[in-house]
Amino acid sequence: MNTKTPYLFISMFAKLNSMQQVKKLYRQCFLVTFCLLMMFRASSQTDLDGIMMAKNNFCTGFQYSYSSWDHYWEGALKRNNENLGTVSTQMPGWMGSYGITHRINALFSIPYVKTKASAGTLHSMKGFQDLSLMIKWKALETKWGKG
């Protein structure tokens, strides 16, 4: 039996100062677990793949991404920008696809982006960004071999 594991687990929770931090940790663990499990089941459609929706079918879904950084690369030099602190970005979005015909699909994406910095004069910004509407056309369909 490994006796270091329980102490590591206890020391990790000893650093949490409030119930709000514990709830935040549980939410993050749930989201990571959910995303890892969905990787094995989820499939997606983009404007560059060969997957087409059937006529009059509509497929939609929500997406979420999060990133944060406090270092960045400038050429071969890794920098730490004290003026910005940690910059974090959250991006929930709604996307979907509609089969106009069996050869033409319309795809859309509506991302909402929220960015903030922990230090400096960069103000938090939020709003809709990079709205997309794409038309995908299957111009040619070929079959290889006996398949």
Instruction: Give the integer Cα–Cα distance in Å for 12 and 18.
Output: 13
- DSSP E strands in 70-118: the ranges are 71-74, 77-80, 87-99, 104-117
- Note if the pTM is more than 0.85: no
Helix/strand/coil for 106: strand
Span 55-71, mean pLDDT? 92
Instruction: Give the integer Cα–Cα distance in Å for 109 and 45.
Output: 12
**pLDDT reported for residue 115:** 93
**pLDDT reported for residue 66:** 94
- Ranges 38-42, 116-120, 129-133: which has the least confidence: 38-42
Nearest to 137 by CA among 50, 44, 45, 43: 50
Confidence check: pLDDT of 3 > 60: no
